[in-house]
Amino acid sequence: MKTIIFNTLCFLLLFSCNSGVTNSKSFSDLDALQLKTSFIDLNENNSDLSVYQNGKIVVSYWATWCAPCIKEMPGIKKAEEILKEYGYTFLLISDETVDKISKFKNEWNFDFNFLKSTKSFETLGVYAMPTSYIFDENGQIIETIVGAIEWDSEEMINKLKML
């Protein structure tokens, strides 16, 4: 009898927690990320990621000292050009200083949307670089990629077109 009562209570508790009513204040993954940290551009102006939310967003966490990050950047640039018509925006985010990121940009002659996170990657749960997150038009993470990849490979371009 105790088992039946216990199972019934567990059943009711389990299903009563999921009432089916949606909360109008629900946040997208992109909103949650923006709440965890703020971002600044290389002119030290605040940057709101929702500005980019008119399409899909690839957020790539990288560092100036990360050889795999640097190695994949030419492929990211090619993918960015190819996927522009598919509504993709690529954001490269570092937690290093704006001066260090700017110096890197000028030395390597990369023209990306570089942003600086005001919080460390550890705080954001990023423990390997590069780590990239792909967000859909609703700000939900639809893909996580840890490690360097060939962004401009035919396989990857086709995959991103399908997402």
Q: Is the pLDDT of residue 13 over 80?
A: no
Helix (H, G, I), strand (E, B) or coil at 78: helix
pLDDT, one tens digit per residue, over 44-99 is 999 988 888 789 999 999 999 999 999 999 999 999 999 999 999 999 999 999 99
- This prediction has a pTM of 0.79
Q: How confident is the model at residue 27 (pLDDT cuts 50, 70, 90)?
A: low
Tell me the CATH number for domain 28-162. Answer: 3.40.30.10
**Rounded distance between C-alpha atoms, residue 78 and residue 51, angstroms:** 23
pLDDT, one tens digit per residue, over 87-132 is 999 999 999 999 999 999 999 999 999 999 999 999 888 999 999 9
> Structural domain boundaries of the chain?
28-162
**Rounded distance between C-alpha atoms, residue 144 and residue 103, angstroms:** 28
Which tokens go with 66?
């990360």
Do residues 60 and 93 lie in contact, with contact meaning Cβ atoms separated by under 8 Å? yes
